[in-house]
Structure 1
């Protein structure tokens, strides 16, 4: 038998291995490239995509135009505004200062920003990192105050308006509610602790240290920086997004796909001296009721395809960004786009499936249940209007054609009884259970989704409303928290609000003393004194809850 030199055998095996990897890379590249055909059509914005596997960049391509006006194409080195992807870098700034002993995650934020109002409850840096602070969020707060979508806004604007706030959305630590305000206030903390300007400190202590040479914080949207993409709204016909974003901490970090791959690689193989920092970034903490929150420090830690994933998206103007790393598989994906329909998160998921394959985790089986029969007399006892005052959500339950029908702002759906007071909601993608308190007492219903903690809807005692009652709502309402007035008036039997910068906002009555209206007001609740006289309104618009407006006229 002919004998071969062991080194020769090893070289042959290595050659075959490299050829196999090259074939695998080529197959992946072809499949990935096919996902972006639409981006590469004439006169179309696009973006840049980069993929790293096992420490090697296996895909890096650019598509479409960086500028529709001047027909400049995107390149793999084009710089994009990453939107809220920025938050993880602000969080890392806090982590590095904590490791230097200059602050604690559990410090009261007023230790570093003493001018903030005392809300009567301790808000910690940890709360802001996890979006559990209860603070009202930037854009919805500004919208309520009269800012339009394309108005310039800055950290200085937030620092003024935050001083007027008298209430929180909820008790710190009790809920998760995405909040740009918290990440902007972390800028104040970093500057007050270091004595340096945030963007300069970040450049020296984060970006330069991690070899991210094309990454920077931008606090002046009118500044001209070469090789930056312009962003656009639309999917077929495009409009240029007017730039108004002068705030930092929560957004407006600019970067390239290559720099972001460098960053993500640290979650698998951190740079020496940064091991504990990238581990702390993945810290998740329970809410005060013991429920889970997968938002860590500026990143979301979840699972995809049965694999651990660390990810975050970003959106500002027409820019859309998404970064994801699967640290145990040493796979990182960066998708940056300059048009609002770019869907980088969806494309990232498709790329992950191409490389990692479909999940080998068995899908959760669709729940089955056995229905029972209840008489119309019994079903009729559950009819009513129900209101979740926390979520500002209304549901109506009505008996139609021998079936209870459940409806809110969407279409009606059937409720099928599985016990004397418990029902399943049909034609929805989740397992939704609706439980009335008792079969004879209908003062509340509990709605749980996929076995989660239930939402409580109280029955509205007097939902009836007469059109002539609209006159009670007419008047002017002023809020010192946002320093603006909303006027409510009735014309031709229709009710509307008016604010000097938003103009007329159509509204309608949900039930007595509760209106729904277009953004930025959304839900308006009238407050009455012991004699039934209206004293003011509470406005909720998503990330601002129960902003008080006193009736002044």
Structure 2
């Protein structure tokens, strides 16, 4: 029995196939070497495929589809591609738009009943670009008491979203990734066509594009042959990872690398009748203030090594996926995997370097001379009250770091990202730091130091707080120096004070901000990333 894994993995290498038409032997070997670790005994893996023009130049599978039964991945294995699914939901909407059956500039209240008045402010275009301001379902569900291993469906979203009275921000003013919006697209497609989203995608998108091994899975516990099992990697090895997210529109499409390449090819060589749809998919619109937003219709449109790229990643359970197409170079890359630490996006970039013989060398910058005193003055913690974001700045020589990301000075108070492909810029003025990202609106941070929590102030925070929007309550306690929030399903959530009336916790209660009237606390706003300022009233 101990010899079996060695024999088995010999069979894996025989079973996996590969095709090389345009790659040099060196390029092929370099790409293959990126994934050889996945072929270790008792290791999950994935499938990788590359197309250039009409030629499949690399196609190979690695590792196990099932660790329990020692079944290998093959180039025909299906994987859940998670948020890579979004572009297909967007394509379904685009088809209806081009056919005149709906307009992407219509507001969502035309198709979805029961929304608060903000439904008349959000257009389908906002949803496609992730600029709707809608609160994202996972963040909402977490606050409402859902845990990671609780099932969630489109019906759960419909029920909870009907109680939402506010948005995270004004539609069109900001980019914030939002699964809620893409689940709405499934509702809209069903309302317009009168058929299920699952059937519409099969008949109107997958089959016409030749994607015969692709389907949408509305049941997280459904059984379909030739699907990989997903795993999370831990310090002790791998554990089974169940995809409890049983919803459609924003995820849960299952497919193969072959089908993905058939689809991606349409970005540079569309099938008859599909050119207008794939041109529309790449539509970019600025935010309300004119800031650039690189998110188009279910895809990111940016540049890598100066080359236009259309791409997207995905993550659900232990599945990780990434697709990228370089239309001008007629090159597509599809990576689909069944373990959480696979690094699919990073691997895609590494493949791109090999294909185009590029390097991630730093930019050729004209670095300004900044005194050590000035550099040191920039270090510390910065906070953005609007987005509940913080950044820690450190320095090393002439380099400023935000986390691990390096920036070099081009002026005394202006820094730019060092790494090629990153156009982020930072500017300092009067104690504030403004970050100008390559995509999205500028973010303004103020320097601050955390304030110690006093016993008297802690007692003012103590109480129970209820939200009618998610029908749940949190209680804040201060006992024997222990300060925490409590929820019946999440238990104790440790809290610390960042500054007066602003507390920091852990997911799902990342930040708590207090509202006072006549000096007394009347309620709190809780934020956790993709939910901002959800109101909880203090109960007596």
TM-score, normalised with respect to structure 2 = 0.87
Q: Distance in 1 between matches of 2:101 and 2:436?
A: 43
Residue 45 of structure 1 contacts residue 338 of structure 1 at CA under 8 Å; is this kept in 2?
yes
- Inter-partner Cα distance in structure 2 for 1:449 and 1:109: 31
Instruction: Judge conservation of contact 1:372–1:417 (CA < 8 Å) in 2.
Output: no
Please give the alpha-carbon distance, in whole angstroms, between the structure 2 residues aligned to 1:388 and 1:73.
Answer: 48
Q: Select 1:392's aligned residue among 388, 392, 402.
A: 388
How far does residue 348 in structure 1 lie from its aligned partner after superposition?
Answer: 1.4
Relative to structure 1, the CA distance from residue 383 to residue 32 in structure 2 (aligned partners, 3 Å threshold; closer, same or farther) is: closer
Check if 1:287 corresponds to 2:287: yes
Match of 1:9 in 2: none
TM-aligned CA distance change 1:414 to 1:173, over 3 Å:
closer
1:267 and 2:267 are equivalent in the alignment: yes
Q: Is the 8 A contact 1:121 1:172 kept in 2?
A: no
**Aligned in 2, Cα 1:385/1:56: closer, same or farther, shift over 3 Å?**
closer
Report the secondary structure of 2:30's partner residue. helix
Shift of 1:371: 2.8
Contact (CA 8 Å) 2:366, 2:410: kept in 1 or not?
no
**1:435 is matched with which residue?**
428
Identify the match of residue 504 of structure 1 among 488, 492, 502: 492
| 1:337 counterpart residue number | 337
Aligned-residue offset at 1:434: 5.0
Aligned partner (choices 542, 549, 552) of residue 529 of structure 2: 542
Count of paired positions: 513
- Name the structure 1 match of 2:17: none
RMSD of the alignment, in Å?
3.3
Other-structure match for 2:166: 167
The structure-2 alpha-carbon separation of the partners of 1:473 and 1:318, relative to structure 1 and needing over 3 Å to count, comes to same
Q: Distance in 2 between matches of 1:121 and 1:193?
A: 18
Is 1:492 aligned to residue 480 of structure 2?
yes
Distance 1:111 1:292 in 2: 28
Unaligned residue ranges in structure 1 (runs of 5+): 1-20, 438-443
Retained in 2: the 8 A contact 1:28–1:355? Answer: yes
2:527 is the alignment partner of 1:533 = no
CA–CA separation in structure 2 for the residues paired with 1:98 and 1:70 = 46
Could you say if the C-alpha distance between residues 118 and 351 of structure 1 is closer, same or farther in structure 2, counting changes exceeding 3 Å? Answer: same
Mapping of 1:17-416 within 5 angstroms?
22=21, 24-119=23-118, 122-234=121-233, 237-358=237-358, 364-366=363-365, 368-371=367-370, 387-393=383-389
2:12 maps to what in 1? Answer: none
Question: CA separation in 1, counterparts of 2:499 and 2:144?
Answer: 26
Aligned-partner Cα distance in 2 for 1:464–1:527 = 19
Tell me what 1:514 maps to: 502
SS across alignment from 2:117:
coil
- Whether the 8 Å CA contact 1:371–1:417 is kept in 2: the answer is no
Aligned-partner Cα distance in 2 for 1:503–1:547: 20
1:195-246 Cα offsets, whole Å, 9 max, x none, are 0010011100000111110000000121111110000001661010023121
CA contact (8 A) 1:395 1:407 kept: no
SS of the residue aligned with 1:238? strand
Cα distance in 1 for residues equivalent to 2:389 and 2:233 = 30
* Bigger radius of gyration: 1
Q: Give the structure-1-normalised TM-score.
A: 0.85
TM-superposed deviation, 1:373: 8.4
Q: Are the counterparts in 2 of residues 87 and 298 from structure 1 also a CA contact under 8 Å? A: yes
TM-superposed deviation, 1:330? 1.1
Gaps of 5+ in 2: 1-19
SS of 1:69's equivalent in the other structure is coil
User: For the structure 1 residues 242 and 392, does the alpha-carbon distance in structure 2 shift closer, same or farther, using more than 3 Å as the test?
Assistant: same
Offset at residue 461 of structure 1 (A): 12
Partner of 1:5: none
Contact between 1:446 and 1:454, CA under 8 Å: does it hold in 2? no
Q: Given that residues 374 and 417 in structure 1 are in contact (C-alpha distance below 8 angstroms), is that contact kept between their aligned partners in structure 2? A: no
Q: Which moved more, 1:116-125 or 1:310-319?
A: 116-125
